[in-house]
Amino acid sequence: MASEAHSEGTGLVFHPMDQFIVKPLFGEGQIEWYTITNVTLWMALAVVAVVVILVFGTSRRAIVPSRSQSIGELAYGFVYKMVEDVAGKDAVGYFPYIMTLFMFIVCANFLGLIPMSFTTTSHIAVTAVMAMAVFLAVTILGFVKNGMSFLSLFWISSAPLALRPILALIEVISYFVRPVSHSIRLAGNMMAGHAVIKVFAAFAGVAVIAPLSVLAITAIYALEMLVSFIQAYVFAILTCVYLKDALHPHH
């Protein structure tokens, strides 16, 4: 019966999560860690997009920038200013890492909006690795830069003494929740938006509500464009905030 529904597709057939399935790009079979999958393809396309924006776009090195060069410079200035403003002037050395994360997420998010594409950032495995990398890097950096005084991040000296142990407990918990929220925020946003679009797309199969469905898809698509950028921005700015905590743990 299930295969019947699949092959005919007469009724309302929802496969909102099928778009997230990881498949080998060539042939079938087991997915090993080295298998070239649709993940590989879309990540490679993200690399291509980054190269086009930041390398090809700026290849003329014009004093008066062309449009494509303006985009590259805008992205550079945007992230640079964010690092400088949020994490402080001494964090500028970490700017390439944050730029890497931001450019990858923004490109992967927008590539994911192409119909029939695969959204790599909608996978918790991807975002969790990035979030854990940020978390570990920031924690290690904090201890290397500040030694044990990094722990004063959890000891809020401006609070009344009686409250400090409780606050310290809350601070420690929230510190360890950071990578979870950091990763799930991005993956969840991307997955939800794409799934909703897919659901509305399935409704478009019914002639009566098709116009409404198309309108809804258009509206959500616009919203998703916004979300794609905002989530990349949020990921980057939270990274900057964590970095600031590591460099300046004293409140």
Partner 1 sequence: MATNTSTATEAATPGMPQLDFSTFGNQIFWLVVTLVVIYLILSRVALPRISGVLAERSGTISNDLAAAEELKANAVAAEEAYNQALSDARAEAAKIVASTKADMKAELDAAIAKADAEISQKTAESEKVISEIRATALESVEEVAKSTAMALVSALGGKEDAKTIDAAVSNEMKG
Separation between Cα atoms, residue 128 and residue 235, nearest integer Å? 12
Whether the Cβ atoms of residue 98 and residue 80 lie closer than 8 Å to each other? no
Name the residue with tokens 């790599």.
120
- Determine, following the binding rule CB under 8 A, whether residue 251 of this chain makes contact with partner 1: no
- Determine, following the binding rule CB under 8 A, whether residue 182 of this chain makes contact with partner 1: no
- Distance of closest approach, residue 105 Cβ to partner 1, in angstroms: 10
- Distance of closest approach, residue 72 Cβ to partner 1, in angstroms: 6
Name the residue with tokens 């929230």.
174
DSSP 33: T
DSSP 27: S
- Determine, following the binding rule CB under 8 A, whether residue 6 of this chain makes contact with partner 1: yes
- Distance of closest approach, residue 207 Cβ to partner 1, in angstroms: 15
Whether the Cβ atoms of residue 23 and residue 38 lie closer than 8 Å to each other? yes
Whether the Cβ atoms of residue 122 and residue 194 lie closer than 8 Å to each other? yes
125/159 with CB nearer partner 1 = 125
- Determine, following the binding rule CB under 8 A, whether residue 213 of this chain makes contact with partner 1: no
- Determine, following the binding rule CB under 8 A, whether residue 15 of this chain makes contact with partner 1: yes
Whether the Cβ atoms of residue 46 and residue 108 lie closer than 8 Å to each other? yes
- Distance of closest approach, residue 132 Cβ to partner 1, in angstroms: 10
Whether the Cβ atoms of residue 244 and residue 86 lie closer than 8 Å to each other? yes
CA 22, chain centre distance (Å): 18
Nearest to 201 by CA among 14, 5, 4: 14
Write each residue from 83 to 122 as x if it is in contact with partner 1 (CB under 8 A), else as -, in one continuous string: ------------xxx-xxx-xx---------------x-x
With CB under 8 A as the contact rule, which of the stretches 44-52, 144-152, 212-220, 243-251 interacts with partner 1? 44-52
Separation between Cα atoms, residue 192 and residue 15, nearest integer Å? 13
- Distance of closest approach, residue 5 Cβ to partner 1, in angstroms: 4
Whether the Cβ atoms of residue 120 and residue 39 lie closer than 8 Å to each other? yes
**Size of the residue set binding partner 1 (CB under 8 A):** 60
Residues 21-40 that bind partner 1 (CB under 8 A): 21-22, 31-35, 37, 39-40
- Distance of closest approach, residue 144 Cβ to partner 1, in angstroms: 20
Distances (CA, A) of 42 to 15, 66, 109, 120: 21, 28, 10, 7
Q: Binding residues for partner 1, per CB under 8 A?
A: 1-3, 5-6, 11-18, 20-22, 31-35, 37, 39-40, 43-44, 46-47, 50-51, 54-55, 58, 61-63, 65, 69, 72-73, 76-77, 95-97, 99-101, 103-104, 120, 122-126, 129-130, 187, 191
